[in-house]
């Protein structure tokens, strides 16, 4: 069954992808969407945290990574069942970043793909799971952590990879996964660990 894009969904996408464009954003947005950057940050934070706080911090990082993994698998299952085509493969004049350079679809571009993997956004889901899980463990971060999924989500519009509803569905899924895993940890798994690993 085709996924019909609503008018407001399309208008917000066009504003982010085609209207509100700046040269500095052309540089920053691909970086915000880079999985390599996210894993580099996680690795550095893990090494520093374990060095300062010991194995307890490693438990937190493993939970964060688990939440991201579950969110990623969940989005892929939904993507395959829904099959929504990405904007860069369906909308004329869409800017998109491929092979390290910016490109733009022609005005007479016609959609050729019948199925795609746009809905929901795995980037939005993973980044929200990451942020929410860290917010549970580090309360001082709470006012700031949502900047990450918001920035990543906007970058996916800017890069022509997703529609706004793809992003919102990804955020909702990532938050649900993080909350569920934290509840499982807090009320069941936490008490089964040795005392020296209690967070």
Q: Which domain CATH number covers 66?
A: 1.20.144
Q: Mean pLDDT, the chain, as a whole number?
A: 87
Say if CB 132 and CB 175 are below 8 A apart. Answer: yes
CA–CA separation, 13 and 157 (whole Å): 6
Counted domains in the chain = 1
Residue carrying the six token digits 């509840």: 183
Q: Has residue 152 been placed in a domain?
A: yes
**What is the per-residue pLDDT across 123-141, written as a single tens digit (0 to 9) for each?**
999 999 999 998 888 888 7
CA–CA separation, 103 and 106 (whole Å): 10
Q: Has residue 107 been placed in a domain?
A: no
The secondary structure of residue 160, as a DSSP letter, is T
Q: Has residue 106 been placed in a domain?
A: no
Say if CB 108 and CB 158 are below 8 A apart. Answer: no
Q: Has residue 158 been placed in a domain?
A: yes
Q: Has residue 121 been placed in a domain?
A: yes
Q: Has residue 169 been placed in a domain?
A: yes
**What is the per-residue pLDDT across 162-175, written as a single tens digit (0 to 9) for each?**
999 999 999 999 99
pTM as predicted = 0.88
Domain coverage including residue 23: 7-100+116-197
Q: Has residue 105 been placed in a domain?
A: no
Number of H helices, E strands in the chain: 8, 2
Q: Has residue 64 been placed in a domain?
A: yes
Share of the chain above pLDDT 90, in %: 53
Residue 117, both tokens: 């993997």
């Amino acid at each position: 069954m085709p996924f019909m894009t609503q008018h407001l969904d399309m208008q917000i996408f066009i504003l982010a992808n085609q209207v509100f464009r700046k040269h500095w954003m052309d540089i920053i947005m691909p970086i915000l969407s880079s999985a390599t950057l996210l894993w580099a940050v996680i690795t550095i934070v893990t090494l520093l945290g374990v060095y300062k706080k010991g194995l307890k911090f490693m438990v937190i990082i493993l939970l964060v990574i688990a939440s991201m993994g579950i969110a990623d698998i969940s989005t892929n299952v939904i993507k395959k069942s829904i099959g929504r085509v990405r904007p860069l493969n369906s909308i004329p004049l869409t800017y998109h970043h491929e092979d390290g350079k910016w490109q733009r679809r022609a005005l007479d571009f016609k959609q050729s793909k019948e199925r795609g993997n746009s809905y929901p956004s795995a980037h939005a889901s993973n980044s929200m799971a990451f942020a929410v899980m860290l917010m549970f463990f580090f309360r001082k971060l709470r006012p700031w952590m949502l900047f990450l999924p918001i920035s990543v989500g906007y970058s996916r519009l800017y890069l022509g990879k997703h529609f706004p509803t793809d992003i919102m569905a990804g955020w909702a899924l990532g938050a649900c996964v993080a909350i569920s895993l934290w509840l499982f940890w807090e009320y069941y798994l936490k008490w089964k660990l040795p005392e020296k690993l209690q967070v």
